[in-house]
């Protein structure tokens, strides 16, 4: 069964991640920071490209399409340059824990470590982008600020559900890549899934971290951009990302790819 091979492959990835984390935690933290950096780089490209189209009536309809394709830069760098992204790890670690290749305690510790590294990397790259004057461009800056204002005003439930939908797409990309051997096929599924969640308007917690800092530091910021709005989006989106990547995709594909109770001792799942 193809799903069984997928569970085995992802479980091995989870086991290797935990081993690397325990062996070289500082190096692993830097990898986590790099994923935040790559999300920020994808954000500035996507909003620069989308903003240049959105401000002109003739091209406004193309803005979201170009935006979604442009943000794929982030995930191709995350996968091929090497880094650790919280949202993708949610799915990998869920399958690893359920399959018994890593303990729940180690999985939670690693995920928390990665989340903090992503936050620091995303924040630093956003500040660097601002220091470079790239947010002084009114087309880019206003597109960022308008988008952030909408995100920060979303009801909790909307942010939560959009977080679920987003990480379903992210973890589906990770799951598919783990089963594929062809590099062009991996690239295609990455771009397609990123395009899907960006253009559809789903919410990614780490990308939003970088985006919100850009909205704070641009000269075109507005009173609608607040710390309360930041937290009001990031908290439900993060929770949604965990549910979408872990409970929906990770757990479901583990169930589909795992053997029956008569074939496998479920007591193998570790708690600590």
60 pLDDT band, cuts 50/70/90, is confident
What are the φ and ψ backbone dihedral angles of 209, each rounded to 5 degrees? -60, -45
pLDDT of residue 57: 80
pLDDT beyond 90 at 25 = yes
pLDDT beyond 90 at 77 = yes
pLDDT of residue 261: 42
For a pLDDT cut of 70, what percent of the chain falls above it? 94
Q: Which CATH class is domain 2-258?
A: mainly alpha
C-alpha 235/C-alpha 227 separation (Å) is 12
Mean pLDDT, to the nearest integer, of 247-255?
95
Mean pLDDT, to the nearest integer, of 66-88?
94
pLDDT of residue 180: 85
pLDDT of residue 262: 41
pLDDT of residue 259: 65
Say what the alpha-carbon torsion angle 35, 133, 195, 87 is, to the nearest 10 degrees: 20
pLDDT beyond 50 at 272 = no
Q: Residues with Cβ < 8 Å from 153, sequence gap 6 or more? A: 224, 229
pTM: predicted TM-score of the whole model, two decimal places: 0.91
pLDDT beyond 60 at 257 = yes
The predicted-structure confidence for 93-146, as pLDDT tens digits, reads as follows: 999 999 999 999 999 999 999 999 999 999 999 999 999 999 999 999 999 999
34 pLDDT band, cuts 50/70/90, is very high
Q: Is 261 left (phi over 0), alpha (psi -120 to 50) or beta?
A: alpha
1 pLDDT band, cuts 50/70/90, is low
Q: Six-digit token pair at 270?
A: 């570790």
Domain boundaries, the chain: 2-258
The predicted-structure confidence for 149-164, as pLDDT tens digits, reads as follows: 999 999 999 999 999 9
4 pLDDT band, cuts 50/70/90, is confident
Least confident stretch, 35-39, 61-65, 66-70, 146-150? 61-65
Least confident stretch, 55-69, 75-89, 200-214, 235-249? 55-69
pLDDT of residue 270: 52
How far is C-alpha 125 from the chain's CA centre?
16
């Amino acid at each position: 069964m193809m799903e069984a091979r997928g569970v085995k492959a992802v479980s091995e990835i989870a086991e290797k991640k935990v081993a690397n984390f325990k062996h070289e935690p500082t190096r692993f933290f830097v990898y986590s920071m790099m994923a935040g950096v790559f999300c920020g780089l994808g954000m500035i490209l996507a909003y620069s490209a989308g903003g240049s189209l959105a401000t002109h009536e003739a091209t406004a309809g193309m803005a979201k399409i170009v935006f979604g394709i442009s943000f794929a830069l982030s995930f191709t760098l995350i996968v091929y340059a090497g880094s650790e992204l919280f949202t993708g790890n949610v799915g990998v670690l869920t399958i690893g824990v359920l399959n018994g290749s890593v303990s729940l305690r180690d999985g939670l510790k690693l995920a928390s470590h990665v989340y903090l590294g992503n936050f620091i990397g995303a924040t630093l790259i956003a500040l660097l982008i601002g220091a470079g004057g790239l947010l002084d461009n009114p087309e880019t800056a206003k597109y960022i600020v308008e988008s952030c204002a909408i995100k920060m005003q979303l009801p909790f439930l909307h942010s939560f559900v959009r977080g679920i939908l987003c990480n379903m797409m992210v973890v589906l990309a990770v799951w598919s890549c783990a089963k594929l051997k062809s590099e062009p096929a991996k690239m295609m599924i990455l771009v397609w899934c990123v395009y899907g969640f960006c253009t559809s308007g789903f919410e990614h917690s780490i990308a939003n971290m970088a985006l919100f800092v850009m909205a704070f530091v641009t000269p075109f910021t507005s009173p609608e951009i607040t710390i309360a709005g930041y937290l009001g989006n990031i908290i439900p989106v993060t929770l949604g990302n965990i549910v979408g990547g872990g409970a929906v995709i990770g757990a479901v594909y583990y169930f589909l790819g795992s053997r029956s109770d008569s074939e496998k001792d479920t007591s193998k799942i570790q708690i600590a």
